[in-house]
Structure 1
Amino acid sequence: MTATWPSLSCCGGNAISSGREVVTLLPPFFLFCFDRAPRFPPGARDDSPAQNSFKASNRIHHVCPLHLHDPITGGTSGIGYQASIAIARKQPQSLVIIASRNDTNSASQTINSTLNQKNVTFLPLDLSNLDNVRTFASHFANSNYPPISHLVLNAVLQFADTEIHTTTDGFEATFGISHVGHALLFHLLFPHFIPTARVPVTSSGTHDPAQKTGLPDAKYTTAEEIAHPSAALVKKEGGRGRYSTTKLCNVLWTYALARRFGKLSASAGRKLTVVAVDPGLVPGTALGREASSVERFLWLHVMPHVRWLIKFVLRTGNVRSRPEAGENMAFVALGEEVKGTNGVYFEGRAERRSSVESYEEEKQEELWEWTIKTVARDEEERKRFDIGK
């Protein structure tokens, strides 16, 4: 069944290079550095702070936090909202665009008011529809934007029921949005990367069964089975099982891409990097939106105030407040300390080992090959997407 999108939380950030034409794109955050004012993609508000900022200056940095799915927020709430504040505060000369299907809570205006700045605005994008992703990428390519320096693929989707939810293109929704949509966006935008571009990919500790997070263990069979799971499997594991498995796919794909970036660096003198990052358990975000009323109340109103107890019970320090998680996401994107790291996994700001299964190269390659075969429109595009070969 195709369903209304539930819990979605996006987070991310990025660093920029100044003095040259550079653009950093991050789903859900895009960071653009401009030496001249670009044309806005269709959908940007004509009366937005973005337009006013460009009128005031012909040299501006452009940060775009993007919420990538249907009616859920991402960059307009939760971790994504906090990361947007952190990035806008750290880069007051940057233009922050919060993107989602809508901004009903006027998050962009709230951030501007909170920071006493005018560098945040709203722009729509939908990763649940691959045609929409292609349209967005086409608008980007045709809008005279500078090259891309950072692309942060960061979206979290979790269903609480045992139904099969699908995207417009027929993929299981969690996997279709968090992996397939992001992968297509990456491949379409890759030709616009600068030689030192960086790609942070948001994962989760739930991808690792050894962490005992309480979610069903992530299990990688084949990409095709994950994209089109049986009703019996979904009924057994529920949406949370789809979530943990998708987060494993994020790490597998990160390592496959890191290997290809390494080959490109060796053969063409480029220094491209990709990393996976776990923002931690963050009570109070939209991730619990589709839970029962009691679970939702506890998640939104009780658990944020007893993080110390959750840390004790789970025996982990990886339980964060929303502001802390947002700051960490901004650090992974903007921090000089993590610059140049490739093919590694971060828990908050610290480099960690990911799950045992995530290092299985055969599974990394199976996912990579399935992905480019699936998202490419034809053989020519498939060859172009298979970078580093």
Structure 2
Amino acid sequence: MSYKGSVIITGGTINLGYYAALEIARAHPEYLVVISSRSDKEHAADTINKTLGQANTIYIPLDLASLQNVRQYAEDWAAKDRPPIHALLLNAGLQFPGPVSKTVDGLESTFAINHVGHALLFHLLRPHLAANARVVVTSSGTHDPAQTKNTFPHPDYISAEELAHPTTSAANPGRQRYAESKLANVLWTYALHRRLTQRAAAESGIAVTAFDPGLMPGTGLAREANPVARWVWLHILPRLIPLMRLLLSPNVHTAHESGTNLARLAVGPEGEGQGGKYFEGPKPIKTSPASYEEAKQEDLWRWTVDYLARNDEEKERFEQLK
């Protein structure tokens, strides 16, 4: 079948990403919907196709913890000559609550998966984005101390280099590193938006937004936690969502609810003309004061491009968004 366009969703095999993929495939049978994670043990693509009576969802493996794997993914995409990408959902994320963990590239794992791998994927797929494509970065309210009300360690952005190769440890290092990676998501969104609107790339109409799905008990985010915490997260807290909304925050949702919001932002009218904004569920809100600091945005952008580019030609291409 010939498709009019493509949608790529990282982390699309379970929970938030799965439901976003399901709703996008339902709304746009004319799109090729691609879900990409390290594995698809749940056979998510087949399940979506069977549920909808369609065949437009496929699975392509992607390991964001390996920059070589990300490059291979992009090379394979180009070689297949697939239809232009109308929406790129940089959604996959992990939290490592224990001691510092590092990827095969020597990067701190949380920052590597939640930011660095996604940034490389964007730059490599940039030539394949359709005119007026949307890029949606899944962040989190944990980036903003005002939103978490002291229930989560506050992010302390020193530099991108410190996030990539940490030299210090916090009282709750894993959770704090997660909050910092989510702040990096917002900083990078704003830095990319500024470049998209100020440079020749603005002619393409590409728009980038950040998205906070809210707290989603029962999802795979806690899969690296200890067994007791993981059991509570998976089996107890999902039953308490109504109570948590009342006592903790209205920004507590099921994965299906948040997946639907993400899908609407990616391909629905709700996301049209919303570049450079941060959405909490279906509505745009202000982000943390730190996220608006241009010096932090530029530090992250410069480090990311310098680290990822293999040579001067690629560095210029990444910087110019070509």
Coarse TM-score class (shorter-chain normalised): over 0.9
Q: Which amino acid aligns with 2:198?
A: K
- What is residue 76 of structure 2 aligned with on the other side? 139
Q: CA deviation at 1:153?
A: 1.3
Match for residue 240 of structure 1 among 146, 169, 175? 175
Distance of aligned partners of 1:270 and 1:58 in 2 relative to their CA distance in 1, 3 Å threshold:
closer
Q: Which amino acid aligns with 1:121?
A: I
- What is residue 221 of structure 1 aligned with on the other side? 158
| SS of 1:282 mapped into structure 2 | coil
Q: Answer yes or no: is 1:367 the counterpart of 2:300.
A: yes
Q: Answer yes or no: is 1:376 the counterpart of 2:309.
A: yes
Distance of 1:337 and 1:260 partners within structure 2: 23
Q: CA deviation at 1:59?
A: 4.5
The alignment yields a C-alpha RMSD, in angstroms, of: 2.0
| Superposition TM-score, scaled by structure 2 size | 0.93
- Give 5+ residue unaligned stretches, structure 2: none
Match for residue 120 of structure 2 among 152, 172, 184? 184
Q: Answer yes or no: is 1:81 the counterpart of 2:18.
A: yes
Distance of aligned partners of 1:144 and 1:114 in 2 relative to their CA distance in 1, 3 Å threshold:
closer
Q: Answer yes or no: is 1:347 the counterpart of 2:284.
A: no
Distance of aligned partners of 1:177 and 1:359 in 2 relative to their CA distance in 1, 3 Å threshold:
same
| SS of 1:380 mapped into structure 2 | helix
Contact 1:264–1:270 (CA<8 Å) still a contact in 2? no
| SS of 1:142 mapped into structure 2 | helix
Q: Answer yes or no: is 1:326 the counterpart of 2:263.
A: no
- What is residue 128 of structure 1 aligned with on the other side? 65
Distance of 2:3 and 2:97 partners within structure 1: 46
Q: CA deviation at 1:263?
A: 0.8
Distance of 1:117 and 1:97 partners within structure 2: 14
Percent same amino acid at aligned positions? Answer: 50
Distance of aligned partners of 1:298 and 1:92 in 2 relative to their CA distance in 1, 3 Å threshold:
same
Distance of 2:320 and 2:152 partners within structure 1: 34
Q: Whose helix fraction is larger, Structure 1's or Structure 2's?
A: 2
Q: Which amino acid aligns with 1:282?
A: M
Q: Which amino acid aligns with 2:111?
A: F
- What is residue 154 of structure 1 aligned with on the other side? 91
Larger Rg: 1
Q: CA deviation at 1:119?
A: 2.6
Q: CA deviation at 1:248?
A: 0.1
Distance of 1:254 and 1:102 partners within structure 2: 27
Q: CA deviation at 1:209?
A: 0.8
Distance of aligned partners of 1:228 and 1:75 in 2 relative to their CA distance in 1, 3 Å threshold:
same
Q: Which amino acid aligns with 1:362?
A: A
Contact 1:280–1:347 (CA<8 Å) still a contact in 2? yes
Distance of 2:49 and 2:321 partners within structure 1: 41
Q: CA deviation at 1:379?
A: 1.7
Distance of 1:368 and 1:124 partners within structure 2: 27
Q: CA deviation at 1:374?
A: 0.4
| SS of 2:179 mapped into structure 1 | helix
Match for residue 116 of structure 1 among 49, 53, 61? 53
Q: Which amino acid aligns with 1:337?
A: E
| Superposition TM-score, scaled by structure 1 size | 0.78
* CA offsets 1:86-136 (integer angstroms, 9 cap, x no match): 122222333333322322222222222222333333211111111111111
Indicate the larger mover: 220-229 or 185-194: 185-194
Aligned residues: 321
- What is residue 169 of structure 1 aligned with on the other side? 105
Contact 1:130–1:169 (CA<8 Å) still a contact in 2? yes
Indicate the larger mover: 198-207 or 120-129: 120-129
* CA offsets 1:280-335 (integer angstroms, 9 cap, x no match): 10111011223333322221112112112112222x21100111011011011012
Q: Which amino acid aligns with 1:164?
A: V
Q: CA deviation at 1:62?
A: 4.1
Deviation above 6 Å: which 4+ runs of structure 1? Answer: none
- What is residue 240 of structure 2 aligned with on the other side? 306
- The 5 Å alignment of 1:12-51 reads none
| SS of 1:308 mapped into structure 2 | helix
Contact 2:6–2:87 (CA<8 Å) still a contact in 1? no
Q: Which amino acid aligns with 1:83?
A: A
